[in-house]
């Protein structure tokens, strides 16, 4: 952080003359190790270092982003930002005085119990080679791989109002993939932490239990080849936490984004079936549906102390007992819409401006175990691990597919089914929620590639959820 502080201090000493400025510096380092089919893939060591200067002046707002962090480079970025602020003043959508100002001073550091360097590269590769070998259990396994990606991101946001927010994020993402084939049927199965990405250090690698997981992942990929297709009819559905993450993401998270509701995303990511008048009264789901924006969960992917515009972040209910309470909108969108919201203005890196984003969007636990949920199903299917996602531009009509399904008959898990999928309409689906697992069933998952925005941005968001039971859902299998 020292380097970023030095750069910030130099900028502050030559700060542009304007109503308000922010400087957001981002330094990220990443390392990717992978073994595929017994061969060590080229390892990739990457780093990025850059800054975004935001200027409010002459009644407008503009930004300039640059990888040139010299005093002259930052001055040039500030000048370009000021030029765009003047253009915004003439043709802007909103008054510049709505732009939030921050004097927040705060620090955040990801919880890391084991440092990345606590294990040598050779030992990491050795572990990956053994995990990869443990996936290759049968001639029907045509492809397999084991990997670890580590990323460390330091971000310093300073403002002309005296704000200084330093955040250090650290991530270790392990994973396994087995691809099985027989004739014209191919099945892919992931595991080893691939569907439960979190912040943290090398302890994430230990938690992934690659060597223990690998045989199961490969066996399930092979078993799916001969499994019957998931039936196509209407029946009860249990979604495991890793698929709940996707369900929450697509049909609660995105529709509650206030910039979508305001229309900013209509040309790309889309709009929302949610309208401003729904907050405080709309029944989004059954009484069992409690959803929070919670940046305080240790290790969850989007835990943070403040967003990228300097708004201090805290836990807030979005939906309580099924009733919609507030949108995912940061102060600028809140001011434009006249609604309260949360601190969720986030950017993917230094070269993209903050926009309304999900953070950690969590479905709060209910009661009981997964077995309790299964026991309540007479005829249903359980689905595990997302593999396909598609939803309309207002986030209503969705169709999702999973890697693996299991039939439920008379309260018992029975046979495996392949190519399981289900369809629904967000506005109706959550009202069919009839069971939420207890705290002990909750798993912290996330989405590492949430795409949105113009220019485009892919970002990390977290989703913690127990397994959930939905009644009378349209399910289907594969085939033409």
Partner 1 sequence: MNQEYFQKLAERLFTRLEGEEILFCSLGGETSDFVRLTRNRIRQAGNVHSAALGLTLISGARQAEGSCDLAGESGPDLLRAIRLLQALRKRIGHVPEDPYLNYSTEPSESQRRVEAELPPVEEALAELIGAAEGLDLVGIWASGEIQEGLSSSIGHRHWHQSNSFNLDWSCYLESDKALKSGYGGFRWDSSVLRSKLGAMRDALHVMAQPAVTIAPGRYRAYLAPAAVQELMEMLAWGGFDLKNHRTQQTPLLKLIRGERHLDPRICIREESSRGLAPAFTAEGFLQPDSVALIEQGRHAECLVDARSAKEYGESVNAAGASPESLALDAGDLSLADVPARLDTGLYIGNLWYCNWSDANDCRVTGMTRFGTFWIEKGEVQGPVKVMRFDDSLYHVLGDRLEALTRDRELILSADTYDGRSTSSALLPGLLVSGIDLAL
Query: Within 450-479, which residues bind partner 1 (CB under 8 A)?
Result: 451, 454-458, 477-479
400 to 419: interface string for partner 1, x by CB under 8 A: -x-----------------x
**370-375: long-range pairs with CB below 8 Å, 24+:** 370/238, 370/240, 370/437, 370/441, 370/467, 372/435, 372/437, 373/238, 373/435, 373/437, 373/467, 373/468, 373/469, 374/238, 374/408, 374/411, 374/412, 374/413, 375/411
Judged by beta carbon, residue 91 or residue 281, the one nearer partner 1 is 91
Helix (H, G, I), strand (E, B) or coil at 471: strand
Of the candidates 64, 4, 53, the one whose C-alpha atom is nearest the C-alpha of residue 28 is 4
Considering only residues 20 to 39 of the shown chain, the ones binding partner 1 according to CB under 8 A are 39
Residue 232 as a binder of partner 1 (CB under 8 A): the answer is no
C-beta of 443: minimal distance to partner 1 in Å? 24
Stretch that binds partner 1, among 90-98, 162-170, 216-224, 429-437 (CB under 8 A): 90-98
Considering only residues 186 to 205 of the shown chain, the ones binding partner 1 according to CB under 8 A are 186, 188
Residue 17 as a binder of partner 1 (CB under 8 A): the answer is no
Residue 47 as a binder of partner 1 (CB under 8 A): the answer is yes
Alpha helix (H) residue ranges in 190-347? 203-208, 210-226, 241-248, 258-261, 331-337
CA distance 283 to 281: 7
Judged by beta carbon, residue 322 or residue 341, the one nearer partner 1 is 341
330 to 369: interface string for partner 1, x by CB under 8 A: ---------------------xxx-x--------------
Q: Which residue has the tokens 């984004």?
A: 257
Judged by beta carbon, residue 351 or residue 443, the one nearer partner 1 is 351
Question: What separation in angstroms does the CA of 430 have from each of 41, 164, 434?
Answer: 43, 40, 9
Residue 394 as a binder of partner 1 (CB under 8 A): the answer is yes
Find the binder of partner 1 among 2, 139, 410, 480 (CB under 8 A).
480
Of the candidates 459, 269, 463, 200, the one whose C-alpha atom is nearest the C-alpha of residue 346 is 459
Using CB under 8 A, count the residues that bind partner 1: 85
C-beta of 94: minimal distance to partner 1 in Å? 8
Of the candidates 358, 342, 155, the one whose C-alpha atom is nearest the C-alpha of residue 254 is 358
CA distance 422 to 404: 12
105 to 144: interface string for partner 1, x by CB under 8 A: ---------------xxx--x----------------xx-
Are the C-beta atoms of residues 131 and 34 closer than 8 Å to each other? Answer: no
Residue 3 as a binder of partner 1 (CB under 8 A): the answer is no
Residue 91 as a binder of partner 1 (CB under 8 A): the answer is yes
CA distance 406 to 139: 25
Residue 80 as a binder of partner 1 (CB under 8 A): the answer is yes
C-beta of 173: minimal distance to partner 1 in Å? 18
Count CA atoms closer than 13 A to 367's CA, side-chain side: 1
Considering only residues 243 to 302 of the shown chain, the ones binding partner 1 according to CB under 8 A are 262-264, 266-268, 270-271
């Amino acid at each position: 952080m020292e380097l970023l502080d030095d750069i910030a201090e130099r900028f502050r000493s030559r700060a542009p003359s304007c109503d308000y400025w922010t400087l957001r510096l981002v330094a990220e380092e990443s390392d990717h190790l992978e073994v595929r089919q017994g061969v060590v893939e080229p390892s990739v060591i990457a780093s990025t270092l850059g800054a975004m200067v935001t200027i409010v002046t002459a009644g407008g707002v503009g930004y300039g982003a640059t990888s040139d962090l010299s005093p002259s480079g930052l001055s040039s970025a500030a000048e370009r930002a000021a030029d765009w602020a003047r253009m915004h003043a003439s043709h802007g959508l909103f008054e510049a005085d709505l732009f939030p100002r921050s004097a927040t001073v705060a620090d955040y550091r990801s919880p890391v119990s084991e440092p990345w360097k606590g294990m040598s590269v050779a030992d990491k590769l050795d572990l990956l080679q053994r995990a990869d070998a443990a996936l290759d259990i049968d001639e029907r396994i045509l492809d397999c791989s084991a990997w670890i990606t580590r990323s460390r991101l330091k971000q310093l946001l300073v403002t002309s109002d005296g704000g200084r927010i330093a955040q250090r994020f650290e991530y270790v993402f392990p994973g396994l993939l087995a691809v099985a084939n027989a004739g014209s049927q191919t099945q892919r199965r992931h595991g080893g932490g691939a569907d439960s990405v979190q912040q943290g250090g090398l302890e994430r690698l230990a938690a992934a239990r690659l060597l223990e997981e690998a045989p199961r992942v490969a066996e399930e990929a092979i078993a799916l080849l001969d499994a019957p297709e998931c039936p196509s009819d209407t029946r009860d559905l249990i979604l495991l936490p890793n698929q709940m993450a996707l369900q929450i993401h697509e049909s609660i998270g995105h529709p509650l984004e206030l910039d979508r509701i305001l229309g900013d995303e209509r040309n790309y990511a889309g709009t929302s079936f949610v309208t401003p008048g729904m907050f405080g009264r709309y029944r989004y789901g059954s009484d069992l549906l409690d959803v929070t924006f919670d940046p305080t969960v240790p290790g969850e992917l989007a835990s943070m102390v403040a967003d990228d515009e300097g708004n201090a972040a805290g836990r807030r209910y979005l939906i309580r007992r099924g009733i919609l309470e507030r949108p995912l909108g940061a102060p600028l969108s809140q001011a434009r819409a006249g609604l309260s919201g949360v601190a969720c203005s986030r950017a993917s890196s230094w070269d993209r401006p903050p926009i309304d984003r999900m953070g950690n969007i969590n479905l709060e636990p209910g009661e009981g175990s997964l077995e309790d949920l299964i026991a309540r199903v007479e005829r249903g299917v359980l689905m595990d691990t997302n593999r396909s996602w598609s939803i309309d531009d207002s986030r209503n009509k969705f169709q999702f597919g999973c890697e693996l399904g299991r039939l439920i008959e008379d309260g018992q898990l029975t046979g495996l089914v392949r190519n399981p999928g289900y369809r629904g309409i967000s506005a109706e689906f959550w009202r069919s929620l009839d069971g939420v697992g207890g705290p002990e069933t909750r798993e912290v998952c996330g989405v590492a590639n949430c795409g949105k925005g113009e220019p485009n941005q892919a970002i990390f968001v977290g989703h913690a959820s127990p397994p959930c039971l939905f009644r009378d859902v349209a399910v289907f299998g594969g085939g033409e």
